[in-house]
Amino acid sequence: MALKIRLTRGGAKKRPYYRIVVADARSPRDGRFIDRIGSYDPMKPKDAADRVVIDVEKAKSWLEKGAQPTDRVLRFLDQAGLAKRPERNNPEKAKPGKKSQERAAERAQREADAAEAAGTEA
């Protein structure tokens, strides 16, 4: 059985509240879970001490048993010093899209043509 450490959503509409749980990877997001190891309240300020609460001992034991954390939970575990989250780097993300590059090339061509026309008239 593949185990995941993941978030289950609770709270009211537009007021999310998440529990950090250990669940079978095949179970639904808000469905059956095996153990609850913490909570996450995104509505609290980022510097609030109780924004993310994790039972460190339970988290350690589940990680030793082979439970795989999701990306968001891995961030929380990295902050708690329980797991190491690898750095990500996507230099392609900062580049403009194909259409934007084409428009920029057309704009540069028009400006160059206008500068050339202005230079020949003077």
Q: What is the distance between the alpha carbons of residues 52 and 46, in angstroms, rounded to a whole number?
A: 9
pLDDT value at position 116?
86
Q: What is the distance between the alpha carbons of residues 5 and 119, in angstroms, rounded to a whole number?
A: 67
Local confidence pLDDT in tens for the 122 residues of the chain: 799 999 999 999 999 999 999 999 999 888 899 999 999 999 999 999 999 999 999 999 999 999 999 999 999 999 988 888 888 888 888 888 899 999 999 999 999 998 888 877 65
Closest CA to 54 of 68, 71, 74: 74
- Phi and psi at 112, nearest 5°, equal -65, -40
Do 62 and 5 touch, CB atoms closer than 8 A?
A: yes
Classified as helix, coil or strand, 107 is: helix
> Which CATH number fits the domain 3-80, given the four candidates 3.20.20.20, 3.30.1320.10, 3.30.70.250, 3.20.20.140?
3.30.1320.10
